[in-house]
Amino acid sequence: MKRIIFHIDVNSAFLSWTAVKMVREGGGDIRLVPSVVSGDPKDRRSIITAASIPAKKLGIKTAQPVSMALRTCPSLVIVQGDWAWYRACSEGFISICRKYSPVLQQFSIDECFIDMTFRCYGDDPVAIATRLKDEIRDSLGFTVNVGIGSNKLLAKMASDFEKPDKVHTLWLEEVPEKMWPLGVRDLLWVGKKTEERLVMYGIRTIGDLAQLDPAVLARLVGKKYAAGLHENANGRDDSPVETEFQEAKSCSAERTFEKDLSDPKDIDRALFRVACIVAHRIRREKFRASCVSVFVKYRDFSTSQRQCSLAEPTDVTAVILNAARGLLPDVWDGRTPIRQVGLGVSKLTHDPYEQLSLFEDPKMAYYREWDRKYDEEKTSSLNK
DNA sequence: TCTGGGGTCCTAGGACCC
DNA sequence: TCTGGGGTCCTAGGACCC
């Protein structure tokens, strides 16, 4: 049976969501002028998280440094992101989508797939998708694109066609006409590096890729990746819409400094800060971790990373920090200026029991108490 | 112009075991 | 003294996504 999948994608999500809030509070609509959402706009290293359509028309792109965009457009409106509000907007649009089909997979904060195979039976999928898009726009105040296809890949490719507030189809039979003329970079899973490599061999469009001998492609990009890429270029994808919630596998935090740092005291302070953030997050989700990693980014953007396993899983900040401190000499010589420091944990478990060793460090009780207070403060500042 | 922050998956090489 | 082959686990790095 022919599947019918919808991919729903919020147009310039963070920017639209910020605009909705500002309009509600009596402000102007930043969607109509060149505007962007960024991290801390005062931070000279801050980059653009989302750009309005007028900003994009001027050549301003997501992930571009704010300073660069300001040179393109000195009157650019810059607003700071608000994650709590974004999560609320995300929940709003997801729950409307879920009304249309319970077979829903959230792909990111602003995208989801729904399997409409049975819901569309005997109906026009485009009419249903239009109703869905209009309902989101009219009740929540922001627009989405809906892509319709016979699998997830085609639906996702279709939602990326003309924006905003549009419905597009990309059925298998439309692939040669609508997808093959596009550049390879437009295909999902083809990033910058792969594009460079493919173009070097004269493979410029998705059509070129589709017609390439899979064995040749395998030599270019590796066997497993090549197989998926070749299928996708031909519009084939049999992956199901995954409704199961995926447990996190890792958790990390990183901080980029205003200026590159080389004083070990500064680096240690940064390590402490990210350790607090990561440990707090895993405690909130009732996780404990048995692998800790530290990474640094240098001025030239090269990175270095080391990880180690712990004897037993932990959620205690001091234990995580201690492991990270032990790894630091392996990633950093203690002198070269560093742009960014990060800390991650993985091998997460939910095991409820606590293995209390008879020989447990007597300081542990103190550490746990410290963490408890930290969590309490975080929670209360959030509710203010 | 000067590049954030948070994830996932894959690969290749080394250690170690039989 | 020099040597095979297979399996598993771990780690570092690199690709991709939003």
pLDDT confidence bin for A26, thresholds 50/70/90: very high
CB of A250 nearer than 7 A to strand B? yes
- A348 DSSP β-pair partners: A289
Residues whose CB is below 7 A of strand C? A 107-111, 188-195, 291, 293, 303-309, 330
Contacts of A363-366 spanning 24+ positions with Cβ under 8 A: A363/A318, A364/A316
* CB-proximal positions of chain B, under 7 Å: 1-12
Distances (CA, A) of A14 to A72, A98, A137, A350: 21, 21, 15, 32
Spatial distance between the Cα atoms of A297 and A52, rounded to a whole number of angstroms: 30
Query: Residue A253: which of A374, A345, A371, A343 has the closest Cα?
Result: A343
Q: Is the pLDDT of residue A361 over 80?
A: no
The answer to whether the bond into A337 is cis (omega within 30° of 0) is no
Query: Is the pLDDT assigned to residue A354 strictly greater than 70?
Result: no
C strand bases under 7 Å from protein CB = 10-18
Residue A356 has pLDDT above 80, yes or no: no
Nucleotide lying nearest to A225, CA to C1' measure: B10
pTM exceeds cut of 0.75:
yes
Percent of chain A at pLDDT above 90?
A: 87
